[in-house]
Amino acid sequence: MKRVAILVSGGGSNMVRLVESMTGDHPARPVLVGSNDPQAGGLVKATEMGVPTFAVDHRPFGKDRAAFEAELIRHLDAAQPDILCLAGFMRILTPGFIRHYEGRMLNIHPSLLPKYKGLHTHARALEAGETEAGCTVHEVTAELDDGPILGQARVAIEPGDTPETLAARVLVQEHQLYPAMLRRFAESL
Ligand code: GRF
């Protein structure tokens, strides 16, 4: 049985779907949910689902990313994860952290990579006059939002869409894509 740790920064809706998916004949189980924000709503949801949690507030570390990440790794590795899923985790990770989990770290990004890496993806797609948008599950490598793509889901951009209406439509697809890609990845290990 593969052990999955998940990092969140906010509400954790993707984390909830991942945890809910790991049942029955699924080859993986959630072992830990962590956050850089002790107030993250995702931590409450994880606890309600019976998954152990931790938080490392990144703010006291200031610019010392390495020290913050060392503390993340201390908590994560105590749970001995086989797979690390980033799910709405909003901190940039250093190559050192990524090397530690290279080959077993996934992320979901709300755009059709390689388009719209970085933030504000929906506003930028609308601004550019795109006719479709979507989300991507990819392996995390040292280059931001750039690793091997495991899968994508597309949605049409509708007339009158705002970043909020588009984000809501894409999020529905994220909630289906990420669990499917995690299962396929876990089966491949
Ligand atoms: C989602 O748009 C996801 O694509 C991005 O973070 C946003 C919030 O995710 N990575 P969640 O609801 O916290 O899972």
Structural element, H or E, at residue 116: none
pTM confidence score: 0.96
What is the full per-residue pLDDT of the chain (189 aa) written as tens digits? 999 999 999 999 999 999 999 999 999 999 999 999 999 999 999 999 999 999 999 999 999 999 999 999 999 999 999 999 999 999 999 999 999 999 999 999 999 999 999 999 999 999 999 999 999 999 999 888 889 999 999 999 999 999 999 999 999 999 999 999 999 999 999
109 assigned to active site: yes
Ligand 1 mean position, distance from CA 159 (Å): 23
Is any ligand 1 atom within 6 A of the Cβ of residue 27? no
Whose C-alpha lies nearest to ligand 1, atom 4? 110
What b-and-e string marks burial along 18-51, b requiring 16 or more CB atoms within 10 Å of the CB?
bbebbeeebebebbbbbbbbeebebbebbeeeeb
Is any ligand 1 atom within 6 A of the Cβ of residue 41? no
How far is Cα 109 from Cα 186, in angstroms, rounded to an integer? 19
Collapsed DSSP state (helix, strand, coil) of residue 136: strand
Of 13, 45, 174, the residue with max ligand 1 atoms within 8 A of its CB, to mutate for a pocket test, comes to 174
Collapsed DSSP state (helix, strand, coil) of residue 178: helix
How far is Cα 114 from Cα 136, in angstroms, rounded to an integer? 9
Residue in 88, 188, 72, 189 with CA at minimum distance from that of residue 137: 88
C-beta atoms surrounding 82 within 10 Å: 15
How far is the CA of 118 from the CAs of 6, 97, 121, in angstroms? 20, 19, 7
Residue in 5, 96, 88 with CA at minimum distance from that of residue 54: 5
Domains along the chain? 2-188 (3.40.50.170)
pLDDT at 143: 84
Ligand 1 mean position, distance from CA 70 (Å): 24
